[in-house]
Structures are given as C-alpha cells and as structure tokens.
A and B are shown apart, each in its own frame.
Chain A
Amino acid sequence: MPGIDECLLEVMRLPGARGASVVDWTSGLALGTIGDSPNGDHEATAAETAEVARMTAEQPAFARLGGEGERPAESPSTPVEDVIVTTHDGYHMLRFVETAFDSSVFLHLWLDRSAGNLALARMRLGELAERLVLA
C-alpha cells in the first residue's frame, strides 16, 4: 500500500514525466511534489492548477448540476475524472483522487510532449490515483 511519496515515484517512471505533485484543490496546498515544475516553484504551481481543477470539478456543464431527476448529492465529489491541457512542448494532466473521507485531492503530472505517451500516462495515472487511497 503506497503512500504519497511512493505514488509520486511511480508516476515519475512514466516515459517523459518531468514533474508531478499531489494537490488539494480547495486550498491549493501541495501535499507532495517530485521532479520539476513549469515555473520552478511547486507551491505556486499547485495553487494555480488547483484553481483549474476546482473550476472543472464544479463546472455545471460537467457536474450535471440542476438535473432534477438525479440529484448527485451522494455521488463522488465530482463526476470529472481528469483534465488534460496540451501546451506546445508538454501535457499537463490533472487526475482527481476519490477518497472515502471528505477531500479534494488531485494528481498533477507534467509530461514532455515528445517523450511522453498521453494514452499510457492517462491510464497509468488513473490506476495510481486509485492505488494511492486503496489498501
């Protein structure tokens, strides 16, 4: 059963991984970081990506809010699984971590565009996000 550091080490084994972090999207706190960050400051990056994650997670268009029939009161905190942003030289992947206790955590992976494999990284990040909180 991995902890935060073991999880981040696993993430960094993905081809093209440049940096990764575990972030709380309500507060913008980096709970764990590894490798590089785009602006050289993991804490600032965490606060910035947290805002993107929050807006996505709470966006009515994605969160199916207002649907009278199915009120998502007891469902997981967000139906959104991940966010992928493509830049000219890299990918940023934010993967939401679903926990049994109340939390708002996501994994952020920064991937090199030429060395990285987006499909593989997306699958693997999903697995690792689950394993992080599984026994």
Chain B
Amino acid sequence: MSAIAADPDAPETDRLPVLSPMLQRLAAERATGALMRDRGTLYLADGQVVHAESPATPGIDVLLTTGGTLRHEGWWDAVAQAGAGHRVGRYLVDSGHVPGGALELCHLGALYDAAFFALAPTGTPARFRYGVAHWIGPVRPVPVAAVERETLRRREFLDRIWPDPACDSAPLLRTAHGTDAPVPTRQRRLLELVDGFRTASDIAQALGRSAFHILVDLRRLAAAGLVEAVRAQPLPAAETPGRITLPEVTADPDIALLRRLRDALEAL
C-alpha cells in the first residue's frame, strides 16, 4: 500500500512495472475484444476491463452457485435466455435470480481474481481478438490501470505474508506441526482439504472461493508452519554409481561456446 501511495511522486521511469504493454496499448486505443494470455483471458470493452477468466480460479458461475445464491437451473436458464445476446449478468438481476449488489460484488471479485492470474508473468506471447464479447455482458467495467495496479499490489501483499510462492501452484501437504494458536474458520476449512494431492486451484474450486483468497490463506498457513508444498522428489537414478552425471542445464546457454563448437565440428 505504501508503494501505491508513493507512486504519484515517483519519476516517470520509476513507475510501476508494466504488466502487459499490449494491454496498455489496447486501453489507449479503447479496444473491444478478448486478450488471451497464457494463464487467462481479459475481456475489454471500449478499453475497459469488463470481465476476466482464468483456469486457475473458479468462474462466477461456480462462485454464485456454490453458496446457494443461485441454483444451477437459474444459472442455465440465464445462459439459455441471455447468453447469445451477451447479457447474462443483466438477466440474472432483472429476472430476480441474483440481487444487483450481490452480482456486482461477486463479479468484481471474480474479475480482479482472474486478472491476477491472467497477468502472471509468462513467456508466451498474448493474442488479442477484436470484437469478442463475453456472455456475462456489462456489469461494472474497471479501468485497465486499476486492474494492473491491483495485480501488482496483490503480488506484493502475498510476499509480505510469506515470501515463498511454492504453495501457490504445487500439491499441498499438511505438516506434522501442531497448532499453537486456533486456526480461523476459513483457514480451517481450507486445511481440511489439504491432502497431498490438491493444489490451491483445486481447493478454490471445491470450496467455491476465489483462488486469490485461497492463496492469501495458504500463505498465512505456510507462515504458521501448517502447510507446505509437495516438493518434487529428486530422481534416485541420478545417484546410481557408474552413471555419468551431466551438469545442470542453465537458462542462458553460452552461445559463443556453442558457436565455436559448431565451427570446430564443421571444420573436421
């Protein structure tokens, strides 16, 4: 939060890092369509974010139906009636399935949550499909700058709770430690689903809770020493005597050395 407060005074070059130059360009040209990234999709209308989806976090349908706000039939009725016209959100409210305020709260939560995952660092280039609209339709559009700012704040927030992201994506395991302090109800429900196989996303799906909320609670549980990530086991074969141990492959190969090797081989 202090970073946000201090931001307006920072010189232009020290501004928040750009999450996606493409997204900023699309916002500037007031584009409408879907920005498809490695870990999720942002839907824009007139350069504003109107919806976001990510496989890492439950969709608004799961969030609304899990708690009983909306019955499954109500959801499918809305999709059938208003899906083709891209007005499912409006229909849910007008038909009395979901109160207007509840839809806004749930939708905004789902939007920022999915955007957090969709804007995660990736090496895969993003694609933008102009003109594509999401069937949920307009609920409460959010400026791109607000989404980017919030995503950065959330990364920092998670690291402040517990600076190890291991629990964010790996299968989770309960540790043998006992609890010194009582675990809050929400964290306890989460803890009950930790079984050595489920990941944070699986738990979010099972509980019908925002995956970012699950990450926040998981980092707190990890900080308390109650949960840890299942670490990939080193292959036992590597220790077998008689095998040649190869050096680890590095992320940046020595290009010059490779060129010299190639040249030498070609010269043979």
Residues of chain A whose beta carbon lies under 8 Å from any beta carbon of chain B: 1-4, 7, 22, 24, 26-29, 31, 39, 41, 43-44, 47-48, 58, 60, 63, 65-66, 72-73, 77, 97, 99-105, 131-135
Contacts and interface: CB of A to CB of B under 8 A. Distances in A.
Interface of B: 1-2, 4-5, 63-64, 66-69, 93, 96, 99-102, 104-106, 108-109, 112, 140, 149-150, 153-154, 157, 181-182, 184-186, 189, 207-210, 212-213, 216-217
A73 B185 contact: yes
A86 to B, nearest CB: 23
Contacts of B210: 26, 102
The binding surface of chain A is classed by DSSP as loop
A4 B101 contact: yes
B213 to A, nearest CB: 5
Contacts of A103: 105-106, 109
Contacts of B64: 101
A102 B208 contact: yes
A60 B182 CA distance: 7
Contact of A28 (B1, B63, B189): B1
B63 A102 contact: yes
Contact of B182 (A27, A66, A101, A105): A66
Given A44-B4, A135-B96, 17 more contacts: A3-B100, A4-B108, A27-B213, A29-B109, A29-B112, A39-B5, A41-B4, A48-B1, A77-B186, A100-B67, A100-B102, A101-B66, A102-B209, A103-B105, A132-B105, A133-B99, A133-B105
